[in-house]
Chains A and B, each alone.
Chain A
Amino acid sequence: GAVVSQHPSWVICKSGTSVKIECRSLDFQATTMFWYRQFPKQSLMLMATSNEGSKATYEQGVEKDKFLINHASLTLSTLTVTSAHPEDSSFYICSASDRGLSGANVLTFGAGSRLTVL
């Protein structure tokens, strides 16, 4: 089945630094990847849709200059949290869709990256 690899799985950084998270589709090409953020005991919040070869589409309220998304190839998307602050501490999850047996565009998620900003 479809596999999405995401790393790092966890990262601790100082306030003001930048952190890059990578998301790779290992056995399929993903023209579109999705980046989610999840705070404790809350549901997934879509941050942006990453499109290969073009600019990402950001959801309302998400700062595109703070959360830089690059989708340079069909198998790799990166999220860079720039000038991170403690309030950016969260669980960031990427996903990509691959057609499952049902014909649905089933989302496959990476393992997630837990970011803690001190």
Chain B
Amino acid sequence: GQNIDQPTEMTATEGAIVQINCTYQTSGFNGLFWYQQHAGEAPTFLSYNVLDGLEEKGRFSSFLSRSKGYSYLLLKELQMKDSASYLCAVRDSNYQLIWGAGTKLIIKP
């Protein structure tokens, strides 16, 4: 079966750095996405990785290792507004999106 694993919840301090991991087992691979979802709102796109390596976009970076079936989202200089759920999603060989359950990130002052 297809599976995406990510931690259920993480806590970090304002101004710090946090890394949210995602491991996947899917039928084929056509890209990995990270989305941010604030409580009660729809997800918003953060990043897309299809090749191995690090993609940096401002305070957020996303890393992919296809051989390990592994990705992480790195958030730097954490702000209170970064408190949200972070969803990892993988597009499989049929171009279907497989969603992780999301990681709830709690930022403390």
Question: Do A and B belong to a common assembly?
Answer: yes
Residues of A that sit less than 8 Å from B by CB? 6, 42-44, 46, 91, 93, 95, 100, 102, 104-112, 114
A43 to B48, CA, bound (A): 19
Residues of B that sit less than 8 Å from A by CB? 31, 33, 35, 40-45, 48, 50, 87, 95-97, 99-102
* A43 contacts B42, C-beta separation under 8 Å: no
A75 to B45, CA, bound (A): 20
Nearest-neighbor residue (CB-CB) of B88 within chain A: A43
What DSSP secondary structure best describes chain B's contact surface?
loop
Using Cβ atoms and an 8 Å threshold, which residues of chain A touch B43? Answer: 44, 93, 107, 109
A91 to B48, CA, bound (A): 25
Known: A43-B87, A43-B102, A106-B33. A100 touches B97 (CB 8 A): no
* B100 contacts A43, C-beta separation under 8 Å: yes
Using Cβ atoms and an 8 Å threshold, which residues of chain A touch B96? Answer: 46
Using Cβ atoms and an 8 Å threshold, which residues of chain B touch A111? Answer: 41-42
Using Cβ atoms and an 8 Å threshold, which residues of chain B touch A100? Answer: 45, 48
Using Cβ atoms and an 8 Å threshold, which residues of chain B touch A44? Answer: 43, 87, 99
* B42 contacts A107, C-beta separation under 8 Å: no
